[in-house]
Amino acid sequence: MCGIVGIRLHSGDLMHRLGELVAPMLEVLASRGPDSTGLAIYSHDLTGEPVGSLRYSVWAPTPYYDWDAFGQRLRTELGVSVTAYPWGRDAVLVAGGVPDVVLAALGRIDPSVRVFGWGTAIALLKDVGPASDVCERYGVRAMSGYQAIGHTRMATESAVTVEHSHPFAVASDLALVHNGSFSNYASVRRDLVGDGVRFDTDNDSEVAARFVAARLGEGADLRDALRGAMKAFDGFFTLLVATADSMAIVRDSFACKPMVVAETSDYVAVASEYVALAHLPGIEKADVFEPMPEEVYMWTS
């Protein structure tokens, strides 16, 4: 099964309430995916650092790892400013310097550390356990921002671990969540590996994330990248993808993995089931519909 949710705010009024809007969306869809939960939340001023600062959502196998000491080592090694902000059992590091250099250094300092997402807008959490526990652990309700996509997982094709959870955020400010199954992901993965793409897990959804990232890297816009994914992947899927300035969905040609869209003048919200949207303000006046198969729906500022 799996549940996917997303919301993109058009109005500034709701931005300080993003967390309290999105947490119940995930919690309701825990019925579709109770084993793991993840959320990518987009905000320009998450940590109070200047807008445009690069941040890295980091995770270590040991909960409540000593991120200050880790940040200190990163600072010493690269000679850039680093600040660690604890978040749930993990942390967000704000660091100067070039992402590729910082990402390489993070792995050198402690190979067990994982970066679940990075960019100037994204903060990304994933954890095993039902949405209510995870939202509580990371204080999701208190968070603000302008966009979020999330996932509740019922694993069908790879292990239940934090690393196998969604969203997959494999390029700057790019996050992908997936409900469904790909039947040819090994072939797509082989092609990507042949092109030099590296993978963190054996998860099928990571292949979709890497595919979209590769197309964006080649200069495609998000709409074309998702059209490409729709053609390249065989199976039953609904994909929800976010970048710093857009949110988009695409469904395969059978369209048997559900998705509901609700649009108001204040926001666009999407979810596997409407029941996850029922608490949103003004939803009774929203335009609510099911998106068509094979069509990319994209919302951009």
Partner 1 sequence: MDLVTEVELSCASLSVRELNAALRELPAGTLVHIRDPGGNHNLAVALARHLEITIDGNAGYFVGGLCDGPDVTVEGFVGWSVGENLMSGSVRVRGNASECAGASAHGGLIVIEGDASSRAGISLKGGTIAVAGDVGHMSGFMAQAGTILVGGDAGGAVGDSLYEAVIYVGGHVTSLGSDAKVEELTAADVDRVRQLVESAGFSHVSPEDVTKVVSAKSLYHFDALKDQKY
Residues that bind partner 1 (CB under 8 A): 255-256, 258, 260, 273-279, 283-284, 288-290, 292-293
State the nearest-atom distance from the C-beta of 291 to partner 1, in Å.
Answer: 9
Question: Quick one: 167 or 180, whose CB is closer to partner 1?
Answer: 180
For partner 1, the closer CB: 119 or 291: 291
Q: Active-site residue among 2, 30, 125, 268?
A: 2
- DSSP class per residue in 149-190: EEEEE--SSS--SSTTSSPEEEETTEEEEEEEEESSHHHHHH
Q: Nearest distance from residue 293's CB to partner 1, in Å? A: 6
Least Å distance, CB 181 to partner 1, is 18
Q: What is the DSSP letter of 162?
A: S
Cβ-based neighbours of 48, under 8 Å, separated by 6 or more: none
* Nearer CB in complex with partner 1: 171/276: 276
Residue 148: which residues within 8 A CB-CB, separation 6 or more?
Answer: 5, 6, 7, 18, 22, 39, 40, 41, 42, 242
3-state secondary structure of 231: helix
Give the nearest distance from C-beta 290 to partner 1 in angstroms. 4
Distance CA 179, CA 170 (A): 18
What is the DSSP pairing of strand 267-271 with strand 260-263?
antiparallel
Of the pair 100, 284, the CB lying nearest partner 1 is at: 284
CA distance 246 to 40: 13
Would you say 155 or 288 has its CB closer to partner 1? 288
Q: How far is the CB of 280 from partner 1 (least distance, A)?
A: 10
* Cβ-proximal residues to 160 (8 Å cutoff; 6+ apart), any chain: 35, 36, 128, 153
- Per the annotation, the verdict on 256 as an active-site residue is no
**Which residue in 62, 184, 37, 209 sits closest to 124, CA to CA?**
37
Catalytic residues: 2
